A and B are shown apart, each in its own frame.
Chain A
Amino acid sequence: MKCPKDKSDMIVVEHEKIELDYCLQCSGVWFDSEELELLVSVLKATGAALSGTDLLRPREAEHAEARRKCPVCGHKMQKVWLGEEPGVLADSCPLGDGLWFDSGEMQQVLQKLGPQDTQATKDIISFLGSAFPFTLGTDKRG
């Protein structure tokens, strides 16, 4: 799969049996909806309260950043907030193929977890954090 930002071939990282596409150039992450759905069902099975809908349909965000194209279908993606505002900015495919996180957004991910965020959002974001502790610079927390 090609990175929506710099068009280089992404590598695939398997973390806890979930596959994520990772760009070696820009450290961006593509979370495919199939894999996201799989993660949601795993989290549900382990007892975490989670509703897939408030994840897969985040609210529309107004943002000046350039619009990227979905690496799966090529449609222009929408900027969305994941979690309570100000939340984490992500690009969402209009056809539901998946979510794209810029590397800058990845850096914000862990710090942005507020008390009013839903458990679902926290679970997804902490999953991303645990998948890339080195890239996020969080592996030194001990």
Chain B
Amino acid sequence: MAGIILGVIVAIIVILLIIIIATYNGLVGMRNQTKNAWAQIDVQLKRRYDLIPNLVETVKGYMQHERGTLEAVTNARNLAQSVASAGPGERAAAEGQLSSALARLLVVVENYPNLKANQNFLALQEELTGTENKIGFSRQFYNDSVLRFNNKIEMFPSNIIAGMTGFKQSEFFEVKAPEEREAPKVSFSAPPKS
């Protein structure tokens, strides 16, 4: 009789252990996925830092009257690069500034038909569009991964294991700059004359 009770207890312990190990491994897997997703964002943001000097150089000759717009892009890029080792929250704000400065530049470009005929610029524009989209999609994937991970940490019963083994919630990569949320306004006015 005692043997049977002992057996049942051992079985329960074994099952519990298996559940704990599976949950723990699941959490580790999800944390790694958010880390990978974060690395993806990082790659694309760095790509954007590299593209901007090229873009400004190509565009400069065509748009002497847009010095302010170009400077805003360069400054936003340098600012974003200076916080490149910070956490998602801090970086998101700086990157949001850069995105909106770039969006303004691309709106202004519409007023320069010569520039739009430049092969070099067209190639850069495609690269920039691709990079912007990749930043957007990697952010989308990262935030979805973080949401799942954070839910798992908060929800019962995985929250017990997460608490015991010290899993912390991850930070979302959310663009807080208000300009970024609005779609860029296209201006149909004539190009500014000096």
Asked if A and B touch directly (CB within 8 angstroms), the answer is: no
